[in-house]
Amino acid sequence: MASISKICLYKPFSLSFAGSVKDQTLLQRCNFPATCILREQVPLKNECRVFARMPERTGTGVSTYLRETGTGENGDYARNDLDISHLISVLKFCGGEGCLEFGRTYHGLIAKTGLDGDEFVNTSLIDMYAKCGDIDSAVTVFNQMPRLDVASCNCLISGYANCGLFEEAFRLFMNYESWGNKPNSYTYSSMLAICGTLSAIEEGKQLHAQVVKMQYLSETAVSNALLTMYCKFEAMADAESLFERLPQRNIVSWTAIIHGLYQHEGFEKAMRLFCLMRESGIEPNDYTFTIALASCGNMKNIDNCRLLHGLVIKKGMALGEFVGTALIDMYSELRETDDAEKQFKEMGNLTSKVSRNALIKGLVQNEKAYEALDAFSEMVRKDAACDEFSFSPILKACASLPSFMSCQQIHAQVVKANFDKNTHVGSSLIEAYTRCGSVEDAEKVFSHISAPDVVSWNSVIKAYSQNGNPRRAISLFRTMIIKGFRPTGSTFLAVLSACSHSGKIQDGQEIFQSMINEFGVSPEEAHYSCMVDLLGRSGQIEKALDFINNTPIKPTASIWRPLLAACRCHNNLRIAEFAAKHILAMDPNDATVYVTLSNMYIEAGLLENAENQRKLMKLKEITKEPGCSWIEVNNKIHKFFSRDRRHPESEKIYNKLKQIMMLIKGTAYSTNADSLQVKEDFCLYHSEKLAVCFGLISLAAGKPVRIFKNLRVCTDCHMFMKFASMITDRVIILSDNYRFHHFNKGGCSCGDYW
């Protein structure tokens, strides 16, 4: 033990707490005696005051303090002059507050005065080291104890569990009897908690049998640990059966079963037990109310939620951090965002990072992206700390708009807060930049993530897939597998989409087969739809139809739609009618089907059939979604509709459009200018053309023009964008409801394969 003593006493040490409050609290809780038998009878409490007032604790200051109080190299404390209960109290405080260095110093004092042989002191040392995360020191103390009792074993088991060393905890538990100890109720509580964490069902059931045999079931802590364990096993029938047989139930028992039911979506059962708990005379605490509010919100019953809110107010808990945040979550779940914001404001100065994050998340979930950005801006203005739970939802808001400028501003905050290497935040950033059409920024973010996971890989593969670089997407997919990551359904959807966008039929078919045969991922509706698109887009209409007919699931409207789109592209009216019939059988109000058939009938010269489609739409009161395009300029979104003249800059926009059309018609490169002129009256004033012209007159020279559209871009507008990018020497990025088109110098990233 002398070696430990030497380390503890002479290791340079600094208490670098952020403020003096914690130092003073520590010294007050240490409760130094007024005087001790020292060489010069120096009052200890005076030294404590000097030590507490020191603005910065250095190794020299601590050494002086220990020497002057008799605890250092020259101190001569007698073993009997130290109060063991006082030492245990100090060690307990150090463990609770994580004051490892202060605890080490006391360990040195204990070793020097010969108290390291006391089993109570050693058990406290094990507990202190374990709670401070220094499990190696805890094990060293444990191994040097002359006699091991159940308390010291329990402390080390708890320490192993806190550090995630579950195998070591089990190994120690198996050795109890060899040391002459029998597990007590605390031992079983700890081991049952470990089984729940590991989902070790068989071991948990064996422990349950031992608990019954040892007659510990009547111990509330043990029965509650059993309840929690079965809830984590998702064995709710066993948990409910156990709960019914409990001889005693306290607030922990009720909360455990209510929480288990909530986690497994038994919201109504959870609320019934909540009511029964109150009827039995046990009042809910903050945690119970938090679960009840979450359950009530998921039941989508606004009246019951308001009644529960009233009860919370009556109990005086509505403004607390946990219950107040649960109220924000509940109203967000009910889509009552006004009530959520009202609750947030009522919390006033009691609002925390958690409650702010809850409000932002609720606004984003309810498609209130601008309000979420305002809430985040307010959070930043108040210098409130942001974490991954702040950044991830707000980046989703940026992606939903999409707002490239907001994304860049949030990214700056991410870097400032040192979260740019965080896996979850990085994945959200990649998704946001992808939705903004900036694949370069998405790649940079991915390269900075310290430990990319499957979600990060999926995001960057999707970025290249949607932005016209299928080769890079497929290459990343193969690299991901080489690095040992197992692809998920989302991975395959992204890479199959890349194959579909580029006409890589063989690659797509091979990847689809590997998904099933090699990786055991069951295809879902979206994967089948992507394969139909892959075959149909390449002109293999009959093969696409055969694929649909041979799918192991019943084809849905989403699987038939890409076939109809392929028929429109390749003028296959016969199969188009067949596909349309199946779509309308499942979705009779799909306006796209009627419009597609009408256009195909017109091109085939079947004008009567085309008119019938229009009449059917009118009879069924089906309206086509109007085309809408938008662009972000100076942090403001500007929306345009076809032939829209409501914008204040309309005159300049239309003049710019006419100017570009004249340049297109006059260009020597315009091999397709005639087709643009033929369609001029019909397509000239489509919304995306108005949006791009506004961008050209509003954005600084050389800056990319980013346009977003709610519908698929038409052939005429696609051709217009190619010419416009060449004439204006601008990069134009257009996102429709299917993919991104990056226009540059007269070409498009899609290679006209769309």
The predicted structure's pLDDT at residue 77 = 42
Burial track 364-398 (b if 16+ CB lie within 10 A, e otherwise)? bbbebbebbbebbeebeeeeeebebbbbbbbbbbb
Contact 258, 270 (CB under 8 A): yes
What's the pLDDT band for 671 if we cut at 50, 70, 90?
low
Contact 708, 631 (CB under 8 A): yes
The predicted structure's pLDDT at residue 445 = 97
Torsion of CA 419, 425, 426, 427, to 10 degrees: 170
Rounded Cα distance, 266 and 546, in Å:
43
Share of the chain above pLDDT 90, in %: 77
| Beta-sheet pairing, 636-641 with 628-633 | antiparallel
| Beta-sheet pairing, 705-709 with 628-633 | antiparallel
Mean pLDDT of 181-206: 94
Rounded Cα distance, 37 and 662, in Å:
102
Equal CATH topology for 83-246 and 523-624: yes
Nearest of 291, 342, 303 to residue 319 by alpha carbon: 342
- pLDDT of 22 over the 70 cut: no
Strand partners, 630: 639, 708
Nearest of 513, 537, 535 to residue 523 by alpha carbon: 513
Q: Each residue of 371-389: pLDDT tens digit?
A: 999 999 999 998 888 999 9
Compute φ and ψ for 31, nearest 5 degrees. 55, 55
Q: Report long-range pairs for 412-421 (Cβ below 8 Å, ≥24 apart).
A: 413/380, 413/386, 417/385, 417/386, 417/387, 417/391, 419/386, 419/387, 419/388, 419/391, 420/445, 420/448, 421/448, 421/449, 421/450
Lowest-confidence segment of 8-17, 178-187, 224-233, 644-653 by average pLDDT: 8-17
Q: What angle do CA 650, 652, 653 make, to 5 degrees?
A: 60
Identify whether 402 is preceded by a cis peptide bond (ω within 30 of 0). Answer: yes
Mean pLDDT of 50-77: 39
Q: How many CB atoms sit inside 10 A of residue 348's CB?
A: 9
Lowest-confidence segment of 1-5, 222-226, 640-644 by average pLDDT: 1-5
Compute φ and ψ for 708, nearest 5 degrees. -125, 140
Compute φ and ψ for 705, nearest 5 degrees. -100, 115
Nearest of 376, 397, 371 to residue 387 by alpha carbon: 376
Whole-model pTM: value is 0.78
Contact 406, 635 (CB under 8 A): yes
Q: How many CB atoms sit inside 10 A of residue 326's CB?
A: 27
Lowest-confidence segment of 238-247, 477-486, 666-675 by average pLDDT: 666-675
The predicted structure's pLDDT at residue 500 = 94
Q: Measured in whole angstroms, how far is the alpha carbon of residue 209 from the centre of its chain?
A: 39
The predicted structure's pLDDT at residue 675 = 52
Q: Each residue of 603-632: pLDDT tens digit?
A: 999 999 999 999 999 999 999 889 999 999
Rounded Cα distance, 17 and 222, in Å:
38
Q: Is the dihedral of CA 147, 149, 155, 158 positive or negative?
A: positive
- pLDDT of 482 over the 90 cut: yes
Share of the chain above pLDDT 70, in %: 87
The predicted structure's pLDDT at residue 222 = 95
256 against 21, higher pLDDT = 256
Mean pLDDT of 562-591: 96
For residue 89, which amino acid is it? Answer: S
The predicted structure's pLDDT at residue 674 = 53
**Secondary structure (3-state) at 740:** strand
Q: How far apart are the first and last CA of the chain?
A: 76
Q: Each residue of 151-171: pLDDT tens digit?
A: 999 999 999 999 999 999 999
Q: Each residue of 387-426: pLDDT tens digit?
A: 999 999 999 999 999 999 999 999 999 999 999 999 999 9
Rounded Cα distance, 120 and 122, in Å:
5
**DSSP string for residues in 242-285:** HHHH-S---HHHHHHHHHHHHHTT-HHHHHHHHHHHHHTTPPP-
Q: If you ran DSSP here, which 8-state letter would residue 731 be given?
A: -
The predicted structure's pLDDT at residue 672 = 56
| Beta-sheet pairing, 732-735 with 705-709 | parallel
The predicted structure's pLDDT at residue 109 = 86
- pLDDT of 50 over the 70 cut: no
**Domain 83-246: CATH architecture, name and number where available:** Alpha Horseshoe (1.25)
Q: Measured in whole angstroms, how far is the alpha carbon of residue 163 from the centre of its chain?
A: 24
For the record, the structure tokens of 238 come out as: 């066993």
Q: Each residue of 498-553: pLDDT tens digit?
A: 999 999 999 999 999 999 999 999 999 999 999 999 999 999 999 999 999 999 99
Domain ranges of the chain: 83-246, 452-515, 523-624, 628-668+682-748
Q: Measured in whole angstroms, how far is the alpha carbon of residue 197 from the centre of its chain?
A: 21
**Secondary structure (3-state) at 95:** helix
Q: Measured in whole angstroms, how far is the alpha carbon of residue 413 from the centre of its chain?
A: 18
Domain 523-624 class?
Answer: mainly alpha
What's the pLDDT band for 82 if we cut at 50, 70, 90?
low
For residue 657, which amino acid is it? Answer: L
- pLDDT of 461 over the 80 cut: yes
Burial track 195-229 (b if 16+ CB lie within 10 A, e otherwise)? bbeeebbebbbebbeebeebebbebbbbbbbbbbb
The predicted structure's pLDDT at residue 681 = 53
